[in-house]
Structure formats: structure tokens, C-alpha cells
Amino acid sequence: MGKTLFEKIWDTHIVVEKENSPSLIYIDRHLVHEVTSPQAFDGLRMNKRTVRRPDLTIATMDHNVPTNNRSLPILDQTSAVQIQTLEKNCKDFGIKLFDINSPNQGIVHVIGPQLGITLPGTTIVCGDSHTSTHGAFGALAFGIGTSEVEHVLASQTLWLEKPKPFEIRVEGKRKNPHAVTAKDIILSIIKNIGTSGGNGTVIEYTGDGICDLSMEQRMTICNMSIEAGARAGLIAPDEKTFEYLRGRKYTPKNYESLVDYWRENLKTDTDAKFEKRYTLQIDNIAPQVSWGTNPGMTCDVTESVPSPEEFSHGDQNQKKGAEKALEYMALKPGTQMTEIKIDRVFIGSCTNARLDDLIEASKVVKGKKISSHVKAMVVPGSQMVKRQAEELGLDKIFTDANFEWRDAGCSMCLGMNPDILSPGERCASTSNRNFEGRQGAGGRTHLVSPVMAAAAAIAGHFVDVRDMDLN
């Protein structure tokens, strides 16, 4: 019987395999950041251990860095200590660090692909759940906890139980691909399969609806696999993948021979078996807006806020969850999504802060001003994205419209740095999680695409971006 792409990558990385127990899997790339690594390095020191493969490990600071006034010292002492700790750990253990002043600093899941560190067919881990992003290149990439970070630093391996392969087919053609985006595809998938629909699986996204997407859009899809509960999400590499990685800073010297191998080997066999399957038709999908406190609580922009009964389809636990979500979000069932007023707009995060995202959002904003009661910011995914956007004049388009234009980092996606919502503030956000308090205690997050966020900034409330001229 044939194998899925995931199984092929898994099989070629087995170091030790035993019946009915986890396998020891080799890790090709380890990405490290300041928040989930300090305790792991402490563990190494305590046990007098070293980093086995510093040459397969890179670090950056993204979660807890300021996105403005970077020439000034960091005011929050605890944050400053965390950042200095990463610097010291990288120095002591010989790890390459893209620090706050590096031209290559940025969100770890944005810089990996941009620098050619992410490669097809490899295993990639990071102490961050959105590591699934790198699956867009046909890599097996997943988030790990700090103890596992320590384990990988020490041994370059992990004990893992084999997840089950799950195929999600995306079929059809979007009528207006500038208005209905990759974000709307992945939110539609999560809305349908639920936030635990992918638990215990690795999703492979297939179908013409996926092939049509650019690499940056594919990263948006794979990024949110974790919001469906999946360990990882991946897409078989094709010519777009190989072209994207060609000639980047750390693309390997023998790249073309690697491509020949990948082209031949990195695909699911026609007779391979998936444990689970789901198909989404995208011909008629609408822009999505989340209304609740997890990414599955999402609806079309043309719809109204559902009642807990409508949402839960008879499941009492889901009904209770929806009641609590509506209370937290201060929304009444039946309210049209387009009537919901917003206070803040955040265009950023590892989900949606790449160059394409900013180009698309800028088309909505160009020549307009944001609504007088709205505060809006753009936080590019990396300093490289920032420079590229500035070369295209996008910074000017955004600042002319009264957006703030910031330096790269995770910023208000998780609000560890000073970029947070105040209690009660409502935000149209291009990030990935609308959990209670995620963007600031008491803050209310609505997940949307970059063009939907930009359109909401201008109007002051959600609008159907398909009604705007984006060409």
C-alpha cells in the first residue's frame, strides 16, 4: 500500500522504532525564541549538557520585543531580562541568533521560510504551536513544549507517537480571490470541523483550491492547523515551493539536486490511506469573521451572530461555551456582523503579516482614512518584510490613512509586549486566536483576513470587502 506525504517524512526520520511505543524521531531544524527556551537552557546547564547540533538550530526574539522605539532601552525589566537571557544562552551554547537589531529579525515562522531555513521533507520544531506554518513547504513542522525544547537541544531527537494522517481537500475556484482569501478558507475549515476536529492528526491539504494559492497564502492555511487541534498541517511541495526557496540567504548550495529528489519523492501515493477526510468547496465561500472566543466560533460576514442553540446543534457543552462567549464578547444573537463596531485594528502575526498580506490590505486602504474612532496598526512579520513593503511605498499608504507602522514582532497577536487591547475594546485582528483576554485582559478579538481588517478600519465596523473595488 502507498504512503501519505506525512508518512514518508516520518519514516525517513525514525532513529529508533519499537512496537506499541513512541518512536525516536530525528529533528532537522530547531527554531528557538525568547519565551519558551530559558528554562530549557537552564536544564542543560543543571545537567552539564551541551547543544548537540548548533548547526541545525537558529534563534530569534519575537514574542516579547517592542515594535517601536527600538533604539531605547526596554522599559519592562522582566522583558529586558528575558531578552538578555536569550542573548546569553545563544552565546554560551554557540547558537546563531537574529537579535533585535538584526536585519533578519522577525517572527520565527516568517523568517524561517524567508531565509531558506525551512526546507521540504524536513522535520522542524519550535517551542511555539504555530510552527505548523512551515508545513506549507512540505515539511513536518510542529510546536513543542519547553521540556521537549530541552530534549531537542540535547539530543536533536524527540520521542513521538505517530499522529494519524487527515486529508482536507479544498476544491473549486474563489470568485473574487482578492476579497476571499486563504484566511477565509482556513477559518471555514475550522468552523466546520471544530477546534478539536484535528486532534491527534497531521493534516495534508490537497485539491485545486490549495494548488492555486501562493506560498504565502499556503503558510496562512498551515499556520492555523493547530487551531483545528492538529499537530501539524502540510502541503506537498510543487514548482511554486521550489521557486520560493531558490536563492535565499541560507538555501543550501546543492539546492537543485535536492529539488530533483523532492520533486520525485515528496507526494502522497495515489493508493495511500488517510484515516480521516474532509472536503471544502470554495466556489461560493464568503469572507469570515469570528464572533466568539475560539476560532471555530466563526460565521460569514453576511450572517448575523448565531444563538447558542443554533451554534451548538443540541450539544449542551457547546451551548454553554457559546453562552459564555457571547457574554464575554458583549454580543447579542441576531446582530448583523456588519453592524458590529470596532475600536482597534491589528494587521500582523505569523498568520497574516507577510508581504502579500500587506500589499492586499494596502489596496483597500489606499487614498482613504481610517474611521475617526478607530486605532489601527500594521506590524510586519519580519524586518525584511518591513523593508520590502517600504520599497513598495506601502508604509506611506498605511500611515497616510493614519495606521501606525511598526517594527516586526508577534505584538498584539498575544500581547506580551506593550501592544495590548484595553478592557472592553473590540479589535478586528488578522491573528489566529480569539481566546478570552488573548490580546489584553477584557479585550474582544474578531479574527479576519488582512483585507477585511483594512476595510473594517476604514468603515469603523465590519463590511463585506467583496463590495469594494480591489483591482
Task: Say which residues have a Cβ less than 8 Å from residue 169's Cβ, sequence separation at least 6.
Answer: 205, 206, 207, 209, 277, 278, 279, 280
C-alpha cell at 440: 489584553
Residue of the chain from 50, 69, 147, 279 that contacts another protein (CB under 8 A) = 147
Min dist CB 261 to another protein, Å, is 8
Among 106, 113, 127, 233, binds another protein (CB under 8 A): 127
Q: How far apart are CA 186 and CA 226, in angstroms?
A: 11
Of these, 108, 144, 168, 299, which contacts another protein (CB under 8 A)? 144
Q: How far is the CB of 405 from another protein (least distance, A)?
A: 24
Q: Name the minimum Å distance from CB 183 to another protein.
A: 18
Looking at the Cβ atoms of 30 and 354, the one nearer to another protein is 30
| Dist. CA 164–CA 61, nearest whole Å | 33
**Alpha-carbon span 372 to 233, nearest angstrom:** 40
Q: Cell 477559518, residue? A: 187
Among 164, 436, 468, 470, which residue interacts with another protein (rule: CB under 8 A)?
436
User: Residue 234 and residue 112: Cα distance in Å, rounded?
Assistant: 15
By CB under 8 A, tell whether 22 contacts another protein: yes
Name the residue among 225, 210, 211 with its Cα closest to residue 140. 225
Least separation, in Å, of the C-beta of 146 and another protein?
4
Task: Find the binder of another protein among 32, 61, 97, 119 (CB under 8 A).
Answer: 119
Q: How far is the CB of 320 from another protein (least distance, A)?
A: 7
Which helix (H) or strand (E) segment holds residue 289: the answer is: strand 288-290
Report the site for another protein in 221-240 (rule: CB under 8 A).
226, 229, 231
- CB 241, min distance to another protein, A: 16
Strands 298-300 and 288-290: antiparallel
* Minimum CB distance to another protein smaller for 154 or for 468: 154
* 156-215 positions binding another protein, by CB under 8 A: 156-157, 159, 161, 163, 195-196, 199-200
Binding window for another protein (CB under 8 A); candidates: 124-132, 174-182, 214-222, 459-467: 124-132
Q: Which 339-368 residues touch another protein, going by CB under 8 A?
A: none
The CA distance from 282 to 172, in Å, is 5
Least separation, in Å, of the C-beta of 317 and another protein?
Answer: 5
Count the neighbouring beta carbons within 10 Å of the beta carbon of residue 276: 15
Question: Candidates 102-110, 142-150, 180-188, 367-375 — which segment interacts with another protein by CB under 8 A?
Answer: 142-150
CA 68 to chain centre: 22
Least Cα distance to 1 among 292, 264, 195, 269 occurs for 269
The CA distances from residue 265 to 121, 213, 235, 357, 397, in Å, are 9, 21, 13, 31, 44
Give whichever of 320 and 341 is closer to another protein, judged by the CB atom: 320
The single residue listed with the C-alpha cell 554557540 is 94
Binding test (CB under 8 A) with another protein, winner from 145, 334, 393, 424? 145
Interacting stretch for another protein, rule CB under 8 A, among 165-173, 248-256, 383-391, 393-401?
Answer: 248-256
Q: How many residues does the chain have?
A: 471
Which of 6, 7, 9, 26 touches another protein by CB under 8 A? 26
The alpha helices in 246-370, defined as continuous H runs, are 255-265, 308-312, 316-329, 355-365
Taking residues 264 to 293 in sequence order and writing x for each that binds another protein by CB under 8 A, - otherwise, the string is ------------------------------
Does the protein bind another protein through residue 129 (CB under 8 A)?
yes
